[in-house]
Chain A
């Protein structure tokens, strides 16, 4: 009887708290989504953001869209041109530039070059970017994926 009577007061001291899981943990699934999902997420995010634009931002958006239209999309001659530039400036063994999703704005680049020896990942990509800097300023919206390998690394795969 005494122990029972003691329980309520002790219980009242405790705090019933609903512990919610960290959002970052739940977001782990997103981190490992496939490239296709990434593209979808990217486009969705981009489209969704339109509704939140202020008049000023809307003007910027229109200006940007116009710019993209004027500059035109990525086409075969442009891809060939970028491949040639990379191949020549880096003296690369092999170069591949693809329109990643067929939307004319994203590219995927794969380069194998001896010049990458001893270079960090960021510097290797810098070397590629330098070769096609002009195109990246105008036509290409994003480089979705880039691989930079030395011939030895490429052979190991």
Chain B
């Protein structure tokens, strides 16, 4: 335990100092000397007139070949740089309320990269995460577990490379663990509440088994059954994952953004949905695509859906 703790400290020290020196090849030698020197300074009770042999041995080589290297030993600059890289401590950061009226976090949350902590309405930390876009991540959490999102503390990292982000996250985690003696519930291994799982895209529906098969019922009946058995059906140009037309793309974006459970049909699929375009036009008396059906009724195309989306009418439509 002691050994691993010491090793971790050494690693952190090497990380910061090597960044300051632009990872020069001399870092190792200088770091070694610096550590020995620091160790000597910290042990104030150690008599100066009887230094350890190892200290003497390490100090000598650094003096002869690199006299200039003495400068960092008397300068506080490296430490200042190290401090500047870190985010403000968790305790010193102000909490921002996540307002339920806003259907998401208030505008004060930064959209930059950094570390953040989510508190519930009792003021307990639920999760400490790092993100490339703090505001978007908190909005995502709010959507999935609003009952656990009362307020948020955010610390922006100015140079958001992976290493720096992880360091900022570690410093907040260590501070919380030191204060509370435990890990935030959301960060415990096995807890997947706060981690967005890759969305499993539904496959596009196919109306027929294939072009070679003979239909036993008219295509109109297949369409009629499809739109009435499923709450939301979007007939689009191209597959759901890569629509081939701007209007279909916009419709898919709206449905995804609303979090709707919908089915999609690729009207350009000539193997499984052949003759669908002409038949659907007559069925719905609508000459263009995309076409969106809700509860068996045609709601409209891209412009009507966009209009309803902008007016906030879609939520009630999909709930009926």
Residues of A within 8 A of B (CB): 3-8, 10-11, 13-22, 24-28, 30-32, 38-39, 41-43, 45-46, 49, 56, 60, 121-122, 125-126, 129-130, 133, 136-137, 142-146
SS of A interface (majority):
helix
Knowing A13-B188, A21-B131, A31-B254, the reply to whether A145 touches B246 (Cβ < 8 A) is no
**Bound-state Cα–Cα, A31 to B195, Å:** 26
Knowing A13-B189, A121-B307, the reply to whether A21 touches B247 (Cβ < 8 A) is no
**Bound-state Cα–Cα, A25 to B300, Å:** 24
Interface positions, chain B 162-176, Cβ under 8 Å from A, are 162, 165-166, 169-170, 173-174
How far, in Å, is A106 (CB) from chain B's closest CB?
Answer: 11
CB-CB nearest in chain A for B141? A19
Question: With contacts A6-B181, A21-B139 known, what are 8 further pairs, Cβ within 8 A?
Answer: A11-B177, A22-B143, A30-B250, A38-B246, A122-B286, A126-B285, A136-B287, A146-B303
How far, in Å, is A64 (CB) from chain B's closest CB?
Answer: 10
Interface positions, chain B 226-258, Cβ under 8 Å from A, are 238, 243-247, 249-250, 253-254, 256-257
**Bound-state Cα–Cα, A46 to B246, Å:** 8
B174 / chain A contacts, CB cutoff of 8 Å: 7, 11
**Bound-state Cα–Cα, A49 to B137, Å:** 32
In the complex, are the beta carbons of B131 and A15 less than 8 A apart?
Answer: no
A129 / chain B contacts, CB cutoff of 8 Å: 285-287
Of the A-B pairs whose beta carbons lie under 8 Å apart in the complex, a sample of 5, sorted by A's number, is A31-B257, A31-B306, A38-B250, A126-B286, A142-B247
**Bound-state Cα–Cα, A20 to B143, Å:** 14
Residues of B within 8 A of A (CB): 1-2, 4-5, 8, 129-133, 136-137, 139-140, 143, 162, 165-166, 169-170, 173-174, 177-178, 181-184, 187-189, 191, 194-196, 238, 243-247, 249-250, 253-254, 256-257, 270, 285-288, 298-301, 303-304, 306-307, 309-310
In the complex, are the beta carbons of A49 and B300 less than 8 A apart?
Answer: no
How far, in Å, is A1 (CB) from chain B's closest CB?
Answer: 10
How far, in Å, is A13 (CB) from chain B's closest CB?
Answer: 5
In the complex, are the beta carbons of B131 and A49 less than 8 A apart?
Answer: no
B8 / chain A contacts, CB cutoff of 8 Å: 8
Query: Contacting A19 at CB < 8 Å: which of B4, B137, B287?
Result: B137
How far, in Å, is B160 (CB) from chain A's closest CB?
Answer: 11
B131 / chain A contacts, CB cutoff of 8 Å: 18-21
In the complex, are the beta carbons of B196 and A22 less than 8 A apart?
Answer: yes
In the complex, are the beta carbons of B182 and A10 less than 8 A apart?
Answer: yes
B178 / chain A contacts, CB cutoff of 8 Å: 3, 7
**Bound-state Cα–Cα, A19 to B115, Å:** 10
B304 / chain A contacts, CB cutoff of 8 Å: 121-122, 125
CB-CB nearest in chain A for B166? A16
CB-CB nearest in chain B for A43? B246
How far, in Å, is B266 (CB) from chain A's closest CB?
Answer: 12
In the complex, are the beta carbons of B309 and A31 less than 8 A apart?
Answer: yes
How far, in Å, is A74 (CB) from chain B's closest CB?
Answer: 15
Knowing A18-B165, A19-B140, A136-B287, the reply to whether A7 touches B177 (Cβ < 8 A) is yes
How far, in Å, is A9 (CB) from chain B's closest CB?
Answer: 8
**Bound-state Cα–Cα, A145 to B246, Å:** 13
B254 / chain A contacts, CB cutoff of 8 Å: 31
Knowing A13-B188, A31-B309, A122-B298, the reply to whether A24 touches B245 (Cβ < 8 A) is no
In the complex, are the beta carbons of A14 and B183 less than 8 A apart?
Answer: yes
Query: Contacting A42 at CB < 8 Å: which of B166, B187, B247, B300?
Result: B247
In the complex, are the beta carbons of B140 and A25 less than 8 A apart?
Answer: yes
In the complex, are the beta carbons of A22 and B136 less than 8 A apart?
Answer: yes
In the complex, are the beta carbons of B244 and A24 less than 8 A apart?
Answer: no
Query: Contacting A122 at CB < 8 Å: which of B173, B191, B270, B300?
Result: B300
